[in-house]
Amino acid sequence: MLSSKGSARKHLIALVGFGTVAKGLCQILLEKRDILKRDYQFEFEIVAVSTRSRGTMFHPAGLSLSYLNYLALNNEPFVENTKEWDAEDMIRNSNATVVIELAHTDFVNAEPALTHCRTAFETGKHIISGNKGPAAVAYSEMKALARKRGCAFLNEATVLSGTPVFSFFNHSLRGNQVNGLRGILNGATNFILSKMETGSSFDQALLQAQKLGYLEADSSADIDGYDALAKLAILANDLFDLAVDLSDIRREGIATITQVHIEAARREGKRWKLVATLSIDGAEIIAQVKPEKLSLSDPLAQVNGTLNAITFSTDLLGDVTITGPGAGGRETGYAVLSDLLTLNTGDFS
């Protein structure tokens, strides 16, 4: 973090959750530590890690990053620097300056992540969230609490994983009026639909997605569109300031799509995709997630497998589409790094 005089200060990181994304993040931080210091004046220590199954580790001067990597890769229990803290205790009592929330997403009440975020802001700590819950369920509250305490609430990792959506919108599209977006926001369902295109049944494709680790803990979150809906709510709130509630968004998943639908679309020169749409026409706002038959000339129709994409509809450029990885430990870990670097600039309001 740069102080008002521009001198660098070390970020002290607390991780909530130590799964795939934390593993990706730790690897990136280990590989790039020197470059991050040299090129971005970004210095850090991971002072605490809290998990539900392995307990909590804490050292105020920083845990060894290579040891954390070893633990992440080998899934071994925490035996050094352990503390009898749950995640909330860790946030409250550790000397962390930034909490990275990477526990699993609850799509209904966002807990316990919501409590973690509230506790972090209460104790003056920044939040970087890869967990979609807090931003999807309580965006305005989170933003208000963060502002009140001069803290950051950053969510780049929640939508399109490492593919930069928020920074692209806020920096690269500056000066445009953006009237809406259409996107493929869920990697698992896109993978399943792509597999069905090559002959798999829905059940076979679902099983494969499960084996490859693309699905949320409750696969209904992906299949029935809740994950895409949460991501659309985050985009509507964060990018467009719309105060959209999850219940304002129409939702339909892909469970009804069969080989018959896929074949019929193919004969028409079309392809089924789970499309999230936000359209803003003055006071009229349409927000929905539903399967759509897209013509092959639509850029979204060409986005296959676990890739995600968003087409922004702009006044100066027309449609602009970004596409890239929508899931994955290293990819999402990169998004968290990108937020850490944003935090480091001090420009995160």
Residues assigned a catalytic role = 231
Question: Do the strands 153-154 and 126-129 form a parallel or antiparallel pair, or are they unpaired?
Answer: parallel
Tell me whether the omega of the peptide bond preceding residue 325 falls within 30 degrees of 0, making it cis: no
Number of residues that bind ligand HSE (CB under 6 A): 11
Q: Kindly state the smallest distance separating residue 277's Cβ from ligand HSE, in Å.
A: 17
Residue with Cβ nearer ligand HSE (90 or 196) = 196
Euclidean distance between CA atoms 136 and 131, whole angstroms: 9
Residue with Cβ nearer ligand HSE (106 or 222) = 222
Q: Using CB under 6 A as the criterion, what x/- string covers residues 89-118 for binding ligand HSE?
A: ------------------------------
**Amino acid making up residue 157:** A
Beta-ladder partners of 251: 289
Tokens of 134: 């807090």
Q: Kindly state the smallest distance separating residue 308's Cβ from ligand HSE, in Å.
A: 7
Residue 25 binds to ligand HSE (criterion: CB under 6 A): no
Q: Which residues in 27-46 contact ligand HSE (CB under 6 A)?
A: none
- How deeply is 251 buried, as exposed, middle or buried, from its count of CB atoms within 10 A (0-12, 13-18, 19+)? middle
Q: Kindly state the smallest distance separating residue 110's Cβ from ligand HSE, in Å.
A: 15
Residue with Cβ nearer ligand HSE (114 or 192) = 192
Q: Kindly state the smallest distance separating residue 345's Cβ from ligand HSE, in Å.
A: 26
Q: Which residue has the tokens 């049944």?
A: 201
Residue with Cβ nearer ligand HSE (96 or 254) = 254
Which of 132, 133, 125, 128 shows the shortest CA–CA distance to 153? 128
**Amino acid making up residue 10:** K
Residue 333 binds to ligand HSE (criterion: CB under 6 A): no
Euclidean distance between CA atoms 154 and 188, whole angstroms: 24
Which of 235, 243, 194, 198 shows the shortest CA–CA distance to 214? 194
Euclidean distance between CA atoms 156 and 331, whole angstroms: 11
Residue with Cβ nearer ligand HSE (42 or 214) = 214
Residue with Cβ nearer ligand HSE (119 or 190) = 190
Euclidean distance between CA atoms 266 and 293, whole angstroms: 10
Q: Kindly state the smallest distance separating residue 159's Cβ from ligand HSE, in Å.
A: 8
Q: Which residues in 180-239 contact ligand HSE (CB under 6 A)?
A: 186-188, 214-216, 222, 227
Three-class secondary structure of residue 322 per DSSP: strand
Question: Do the strands 98-101 and 11-16 form a parallel or antiparallel pair, or are they unpaired?
Answer: parallel
Q: Kindly state the smallest distance separating residue 5's Cβ from ligand HSE, in Å.
A: 39
Q: Using CB under 6 A as the criterion, what x/- string covers residues 132-161 for binding ligand HSE?
A: -----------------------------x
Residue 326 binds to ligand HSE (criterion: CB under 6 A): yes
Three-class secondary structure of residue 141 per DSSP: helix
Q: Kindly state the smallest distance separating residue 11's Cβ from ligand HSE, in Å.
A: 25
Scanning the chain, the segments in alpha helix (DSSP H) are 20-40, 65-74, 87-93, 113-122, 133-148, 166-167, 187-197, 202-211, 220-223, 226-240, 259-267, 329-345
Residues at the contact surface with ligand HSE, assessed by CB under 6 A: 161, 186-188, 214-216, 222, 227, 326-327
